[in-house]
Amino acid sequence: MTPSTFKRNEQIAAIKKEHANEISDIKKKMKDLETMLKTVVKQQNPDLDEEDKNNMMTRVLSKESSAVGLHSSTSTHDPYEQVYILKLVLFCTVGGMSVN
């Protein structure tokens, strides 16, 4: 292995480690946002039973999970779809309406 190849491999390893740390941070932030959203839904919909609240969250979160993955360059995936879903849920819960 030449010195330039060794240095390049070290750089690649450092980039991979940095990327893994960033992904870990993003996952933690998403989990925190999920917890916050669940709290808001519970606070804004005290009249809904626990099952209805869980169903509402499941629909939103399953939509989010299904949007994550590899997409081709011709994909119609909207990278802001998760933000729209969050805004919709917050609007519906803060506005006093329930999402069915």
Count Cβ atoms within 10 A of the Cβ of residue 13 and give its class: 0-12 exposed, 13-18 middle, 19 or more buried: exposed
d(Cα 97, Cα 45) in Å, to the nearest integer?
A: 8
Q: pLDDT, tens digit, for every residue of 3-61?
A: 899 999 999 999 999 999 999 999 999 888 888 888 887 888 788 788 887 777 777 77
User: Which tokens go with 43?
Assistant: 């606070």
Give residue 77's pLDDT.
56
Mean pLDDT in residue range 73-80: 56
d(Cα 88, Cα 13) in Å, to the nearest integer?
A: 40
Between 83 and 2, the higher pLDDT residue? 2
Q: How confident is the model at residue 99 (pLDDT cuts 50, 70, 90)?
A: very low
| Nearest residue to 88 (alpha-carbon basis) of 41, 22, 30 | 41
d(Cα 44, Cα 67) in Å, to the nearest integer?
A: 26
d(Cα 32, Cα 99) in Å, to the nearest integer?
A: 22
Give residue 95's pLDDT.
54
Cβ atoms of 82 and 68 closer than 8 Å: no
pTM higher than 0.85: no
Q: How confident is the model at residue 98 (pLDDT cuts 50, 70, 90)?
A: very low
